[in-house]
Structure 1
């Protein structure tokens, strides 16, 4: 069976799967026609998981080999990471700063050792004071310059988005504009209205919690008693910054004035010593001012931070995040090698913040990854182990960070190439499972606004957890991990429960309906998994005592939610591939009755097709299932009516159900099933004019109906339909000519034709060689059937040995080998004696 919902091709929130295509395989003894397979949405998110026709379970499909994806998004698209502009800017500033500092130190040493040490008594009063002022100003700037306070000052001035900003110092932490503008702090791309207000209130509570720490907030500390705000550390930082600029201007003015006048006296060596001193001082001050001017031009003039934020698509938190990133890069260039800063990137920087002890830093780091996860070209850069570990956080004050981390992981998992990476992180699936909480939080008291007292937003985390699992489940290996995680499968099935009140209430919360839908999508993908993993998952899902009951509830009360009903029927169809699961479905009261009702009465053709497919699989090789289906008195009449009705999917499934009932219902129902002979005219007409899947099942149904009639009755049915025996035989021969090799779309076509050929020859023999006036053996020989059967014998495949398929794995093997059936047909034709084996 090819799961049209695709065991490992389930769609994300918007179906972004690739389209696996087959190729051609033509070995010497067999040629398979590989048709194009359009990967459907296992989740069917856009349409509720609806399929594309009910024929898919009876044909295999080749699973596409996962591609390597788009590669490293930030390197393969011909686009440099935007933050490189910031690190290059930091490097250039560091070059100017280190050059200025180096010249300042050299000038200081020259002045103290040579001028003041050797010529102190000989210096004029003007040069003495000029040298002294320059040394004090330059020395204070070089040796006492407070980078930390200056960076903190700039961070405060340039932060435009609300949020938490901590300077690169380990000691200084500053929360920028959060209290003044909490709404801006809460805005993210796509948030508006009520979301913005809720985020603002939530962020406000976070800031209040941060401010209630047991340590001082360093920038607001008053350094001297009784001075109030005058000697607050951040004020002193601004003052020192301006003093540095004024000192540099003073050095330039004094140096230019003395170099212009150059009246240094006549003492030997004094003149060149003073010329060198003033020149070095002038260059050092000019370099410092150049650094300041370059800084101001890039930051305020070109608005470099805003440009990079836009290119990185960081949204409202971009300015805060990039300001912090830039200062850290600059700090590395200053304190170490000038090349240390250019080794930084935003993702690694965000990871470092996530590892911080402070929630405000963690929030900045997660915000960066959150935006990167949704930005095209940056997704693959954002996968980090710490991010997954954050999903386990439970404290109320950590809710915002945890939610952002969950959103990042969900976006990462949306890319197929990242799905295995996420699940490959140790403990990742368990962390995701922690999002699935089904308890209830007690409401907070009206007067209590502390983070610990407010109600935790469990429904939002439930939806995110289910979304992550759904996206992970698109990969076969991840389905196995989900099934093997203790308690996770039961938790997912718990979310498939939908009360009648929820399903029938048009005003029911959308989040609850979405949770049910996502849970159903996950279960559908699990039971649609191929191979041994799929077999194990189908058994485990069926063994949960709530599974089928929950699905029954959706079918019974979900008329307003057809997408949920389709998913429920898809799950039942997948479960029906397992014999034990099939027994559970049949023994759960009302399930088969609901499927029959939907199949016969549904106005939506797709919904009816889903129900028909589930019934066809249930009736396959199951006498118990056939007996339950036949409990409905008018079931045969409805099925025969559907054979001639509208809609190919409806006719197709009706034919399959009838064929399986005739083949597997058992002896006690044979008399009642003999009524299906009334459908013979419709089936014969379809055989003569149909093609593809409807032709395949029509030939198979004809063979089963023929069990209730003899050759004479069959001839009468042919004539009544306007078909003569020769034309019918020629039609069977033409089908075999068209299918000289096994065809994936109709793997049972040749088997059904061979079985019908055997029945024709057997009926002819039983009637003494004259079945209603026709000798089918002679007609078949004239049509070249012997040669065609020999060709089939030489091209039989394992593909033709199964009723249905799970991916490329055959399930429910035919009781009779095709080769044996071909040999029997050749023997009846009398032409197998000379055939080479």
Structure 2
């Protein structure tokens, strides 16, 4: 039987085919440097490509000779003397005809097959076309050759169906477990390419995701630090970054023992080791641009994997429990004025991408709900670089509003915890930078980005002054109260301006009464906004009104009503209408009934010039308050929320406020 063993298909061992795909340069160097070779022509003889060519031509010659001899015998019928009486000799001619026909057919089929495959490979460029179709690039030809080698070997050594059932993704996964680094490289290249190519990505990731040993092997490869295995490590990281994008796969990755530590190894620590307990190591400086670029590239992949894993709540807890991981992540949030001015454009883009992903990851961790989120926010805020790094992002990231927004989001989430709130406010320049962004005028062409950043800055300021007297004092020292009142007239930021002013009035303390006199100027604007149809704006303006009017005497409040053109009867009617409209707690405006009752109580207590109690009685406030008593919920007793968990509980419940208002009405 003749077997196909040309330069493309030959049934050889895996080790032999691997040597043919990747020439072993170490062996060549050994032959070159050897003083006494074992054989005079050992170098030539043991090169697999030479042996392959020798076998190739020998098979062609033997097949051609078989065709020629069989043809000659079939034409000449020179089989010797045949006697009719001798049975053996009588059957010889028929047997030899059959034999030579079969030999001729077999050899001819072999030559036709050889010609066909030679045509497909050499003329039609079969392998190159497959490589191009799979988008493998230049280095992918080796992987495609190796796949064809193994497929053909399975067909020859086993069943033809073994080769037909073989697919290139399974082939790549099989090579990952090889002891040969060359085979591992081929396997990981195949999986990486099919994972990142949009056409094949979904099916490939599904196939990898259900093969737990393959995921374990990929995670293990992240720990390989040998320079010769750098491409394997990087490709494994790229595959995992794609794999972690699906929730089920991310759980499998995170469920591997030591997975977080392996991923953490991609985040090269930028601080020197071995520093004293009272010292912090300095940043590493890379003078080699290529080394610098590789450094950031691995960091980017590590942060991308962690960011995708952090989409699951349980994984966030595992990230927080991984020793030394949070400080590494915080290290990458550092930014300075030279961050975007690197001479090497690739490095600059890579550093910005690293900064963006690290900020996204910290924001995701800080926004985690429940006890896990509480622990993460405490740990993040306790790292000494967190707040100062975010402050630098706000200061130097004017060209990149999205980075500023991410930094502001981190501060807002951390401010959910009282201790973190104090740390942020006590870090020099944070509140100042937030106000600079909040008051910044939008430039033409960037209204969307800058407008979103301004809104985010207002939310952060409102959170920082919530239940924090020290932060309120910091804001007063900045002298921005007048500008906050003016901001109530700006549609995009007036909601957050009202929140900041309300919290300032509520938590600054009695000793700051004189400093808050500017807030009185906001009263006319607030009264006009209460009649707005926008529920959110209506909620914050009613809440602000309940605090602003406490700084006024009855005469001053009467002047405000006259100046704004709104009568007390009109305001009272609006408050009762709000209670009728919100006959049960609303998720979008959870505090609106509380604020309405607070403002109604102030109006009934401020009864020197007009009988507001009688006015509310006529409008049916008593009936609406009784409805409130029957429908109160815990939702209305908190100022902010972390998921479904309420934070910053009000000192008085809505139920007690409604009872107080009823007592005044009935008194």
TM range (shorter): 0.7 to 0.9
State the shift of 1:704 in Å.
0.8
State the shift of 1:482 in Å.
1.4
Matched, 1:643 2:488: yes
Q: Which residue of 1 aligns with 2:353?
A: 514
Alignment of 1:429-448 (within 5 A): 429-437=260-268, 438=270, 440=284
Separation in structure 2 between the aligned mates of residue 685 and residue 660 of structure 1, nearest angstrom: 20
In 1, are the aligned partners of 2:635 and 2:646 still within 8 Å (CA)? yes
Q: Which residue of 2 aligns with 1:154?
A: 8
Separation in structure 2 between the aligned mates of residue 806 and residue 365 of structure 1, nearest angstrom: 45
1:381 to 187, 200, 207: 207
Distance 1:827 1:305, change over 3 A: farther
State the shift of 1:583 in Å.
1.5
State the shift of 1:302 in Å.
6.1
When you count helix as a share of all residues, which structure comes out higher?
2
Separation in structure 2 between the aligned mates of residue 229 and residue 256 of structure 1, nearest angstrom: 37
Separation in structure 1 between the aligned mates of residue 42 and residue 518 of structure 2, nearest angstrom: 104
Taking structure 2 as the reference length, the TM-score comes to: 0.84
1:490 to 319, 327, 335: 327
In 1, are the aligned partners of 2:12 and 2:153 still within 8 Å (CA)? no
Q: Which residue of 2 aligns with 1:281?
A: 103
Q: Which residue of 2 aligns with 1:594?
A: 433
Matched, 1:669 2:515: no
State the shift of 1:590 in Å.
2.7
Q: Which residue of 2 aligns with 1:409?
A: 240
Q: Which residue of 1 aligns with 2:463?
A: 617
State the shift of 1:480 in Å.
1.7
State the shift of 1:344 in Å.
2.9
Q: Unaligned 5+ residue runs, structure 1?
A: 1-100, 102-140, 157-165, 179-206, 445-452, 832-837
State the shift of 1:538 in Å.
0.4
Separation in structure 1 between the aligned mates of residue 654 and residue 196 of structure 2, nearest angstrom: 53
In 1, are the aligned partners of 2:19 and 2:48 still within 8 Å (CA)? no
Q: Which residue of 2 aligns with 1:717?
A: 560
State the shift of 1:484 in Å.
1.0
Q: Would you say how many aligned residue pairs link Structure 1 and Structure 2?
A: 625
Distance 1:558 1:285, change over 3 A: closer
2:410 to 567, 571, 589: 571
Matched, 1:321 2:143: yes
Separation in structure 2 between the aligned mates of residue 642 and residue 442 of structure 1, nearest angstrom: 46
State the shift of 1:531 in Å.
1.8
Q: Which residue of 1 aligns with 2:521?
A: 678
Q: Which residue of 2 aligns with 1:732?
A: 575
Separation in structure 2 between the aligned mates of residue 433 and residue 664 of structure 1, nearest angstrom: 42
Matched, 1:606 2:435: no
Q: Which residue of 2 aligns with 1:523?
A: 362
Q: Which residue of 1 aligns with 2:372?
A: 533
State the shift of 1:297 in Å.
5.7
Q: Which residue of 2 aligns with 1:400?
A: 231
In 2, are the aligned partners of 1:504 and 1:558 still within 8 Å (CA)? no
Alignment of 1:239-254 (within 5 A): 239-254=54-69
* SS of alignment partner, residue 485 of structure 2: helix
Q: In terms of mean alpha carbon deviation, does 323-332 or 294-303 score higher?
A: 294-303
**CA deviation profile, 1:15-36 (whole Å, cap 9, x unmatched):** xxxxxxxxxxxxxxxxxxxxxx
Structural RMSD (CA): 3.4
* SS of alignment partner, residue 704 of structure 1: helix
* SS of alignment partner, residue 720 of structure 1: helix
Q: Which residue of 2 aligns with 1:626?
A: 472
Q: Which residue of 2 aligns with 1:359?
A: 181
Q: Which residue of 2 aligns with 1:184?
A: none
Separation in structure 2 between the aligned mates of residue 829 and residue 397 of structure 1, nearest angstrom: 83
* SS of alignment partner, residue 340 of structure 1: helix
State the shift of 1:347 in Å.
2.4
Matched, 1:421 2:275: no
In 2, are the aligned partners of 1:558 and 1:564 still within 8 Å (CA)? yes
Q: Unaligned 5+ residue runs, structure 2?
A: 210-214, 272-283, 443-449
Q: Which residue of 2 aligns with 1:462?
A: 299
Distance 1:277 1:825, change over 3 A: same
Taking structure 1 as the reference length, the TM-score comes to: 0.68
**CA deviation profile, 1:738-784 (whole Å, cap 9, x unmatched):** 333333222212221122223223333xx3xxxx33x3333323333
Q: Which residue of 1 aligns with 2:309?
A: 472
State the shift of 1:601 in Å.
3.9
Separation in structure 1 between the aligned mates of residue 508 and residue 341 of structure 2, nearest angstrom: 37
Q: Which residue of 1 aligns with 2:274?
A: none
Separation in structure 1 between the aligned mates of residue 625 and residue 252 of structure 2, nearest angstrom: 51
2:423 to 584, 588, 598: 584
State the shift of 1:403 in Å.
2.2
State the shift of 1:651 in Å.
1.1
Matched, 1:696 2:539: yes
Matched, 1:813 2:658: no
Separation in structure 1 between the aligned mates of residue 56 and residue 175 of structure 2, nearest angstrom: 27
Separation in structure 2 between the aligned mates of residue 305 and residue 798 of structure 1, nearest angstrom: 68
In 2, are the aligned partners of 1:732 and 1:753 still within 8 Å (CA)? yes
Q: Which residue of 1 aligns with 2:280?
A: none
Distance 1:223 1:783, change over 3 A: farther
Distance 1:155 1:283, change over 3 A: closer
Distance 1:277 1:216, change over 3 A: farther
Q: Which residue of 2 aligns with 1:74?
A: none
Separation in structure 1 between the aligned mates of residue 559 and residue 398 of structure 2, nearest angstrom: 45
